[in-house]
């Protein structure tokens, strides 16, 4: 079964009511490839605005940039899975390198959040990736497999149906650097091999693996041609008109 191409837009801590409405209205008007699943992730403050502005006929979905692993309680600043669903938000990003490195989220915490989201009915764009030092030491695959192993310890084979993996080399995020097409494909292939070993052919063949390192309108078409690259998690370019070109890059 062919994997449906997937493009996520992570707005990070960017945007205003006016700019986010403008981005979404541009998507509403654009001719988007109907064979691509599109999910945008504005800051939490603007999730409801985004949900209300997206034209449901466009098929674009809205994601949170984070969610907590407890159902409710004294967790100041956090958002629960149930609250996302109550707001008609059915996706979240988890494990992004900025939360791992800047906010100290461990592999185990990210895995716990992912388990809570999946069990609560929210799909996850789950992120993994290595630092420049880890890549230069030849440890890229080992680092990614360590992150995957922590996640796998919390999940069943059936849970993977609600997970999209985003491989994002930390050294290529927001730096203007980008992995070569070959470098990206090699890691995607290694991730799929790991899934096949741990969970079998069905999970390996059906799980989508996105590339998430400085994707833009110039490099997206070449990356999209690779057999194990099933789409993109886009950062800064998702705030620009070229986001439409990235969505349509698999045509």
Q: What is the pLDDT of residues 218-246, one digit of tens each?
A: 999 999 999 999 999 999 999 999 999 99
Domain boundaries defined on the chain:
5-247
3-state secondary structure the chain: CCCCEEEEEECCCCCCHHHHHHHHHHHHHCCCCCCEEEEEECCHHHHHHHHHHCCHHHCCEEEECCCCCCCCCCCCCCCCHHHHHHCCCCEEEECCHHHHHHCCCCHHHHHHHHHHHHHCCCEEEEEECCCHHHHHCCCHHHHHHHHHHHHHCCCCHHHHHHEEEEECCHHHCCCCCCCCHHHHHHHHHHHHHHHHHHHCHHHHHHCCEEECCCCCCCCHHHHHCCCCCCEEEECHHHHCCHHHHHHCCCC
pTM, two decimals, is: 0.96
* % of the chain at pLDDT higher than 70: 98
CA separation for the pair 173, 8 (Å, rounded):
15
Residue 78 is predicted with a pLDDT of 97
Q: Which CATH superfamily hosts domain 5-247?
A: Aldolase class I (3.20.20.70)
In the predicted structure, residue 177 carries a pLDDT above the cut 80 = no
Residue 159 is predicted with a pLDDT of 96
CA separation for the pair 130, 171 (Å, rounded):
8
Active-site residues, by number, are 96, 168
In the predicted structure, residue 171 carries a pLDDT above the cut 90 = no
In the predicted structure, residue 179 carries a pLDDT above the cut 60 = yes
């Amino acid at each position: 079964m062919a994997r449906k191409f997937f493009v996520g837009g992570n707005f990070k801590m960017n945007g205003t009511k006016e700019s986010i409405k403008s981005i979404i209205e541009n998507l509403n008007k654009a001719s988007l490839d109907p064979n691509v699943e599109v999910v945008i992730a504005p800051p939490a403050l603007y999730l409801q605005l985004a949900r209300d502005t997206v034209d449901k006929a466009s098929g674009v979905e809205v994601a949170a940039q984070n969610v907590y692993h407890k159902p409710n309680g004294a967790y100041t600043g956090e958002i629960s899975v149930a609250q996302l669903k109550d707001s008609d938000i059915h996706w979240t990003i988890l494990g992004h390198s900025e939360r791992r490195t800047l906010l100290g989220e461990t592999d185990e915490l990210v895995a716990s959040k992912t388990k809570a989201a999946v069990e609560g009915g929210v799909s996850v764009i789950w992120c993994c990736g290595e630092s420049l030092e880890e890549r230069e030491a030849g440890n890229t695959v080992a680092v990614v497999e360590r992150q995957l192993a922590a996640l796998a310890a919390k999940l069943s084979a059936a849970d993977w149906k609600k997970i999209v993996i985003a491989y994002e080399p930390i050294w290529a995020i927001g730096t203007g650097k980008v992995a070569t097409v070959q470098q990206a494909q090699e890691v995607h292939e290694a991730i799929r091999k790991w899934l096949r070993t741990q969970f079998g052919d069905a999970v390996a063949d059906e799980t989508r693996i996105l590339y998430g390192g400085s994707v833009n309108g110039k490099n997206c078409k070449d990356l999209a041609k690779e057999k194990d690259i099933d789409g993109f998690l886009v950062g800064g370019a998702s705030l620009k008109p070229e986001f439409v070109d990235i969505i349509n890059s698999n045509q």
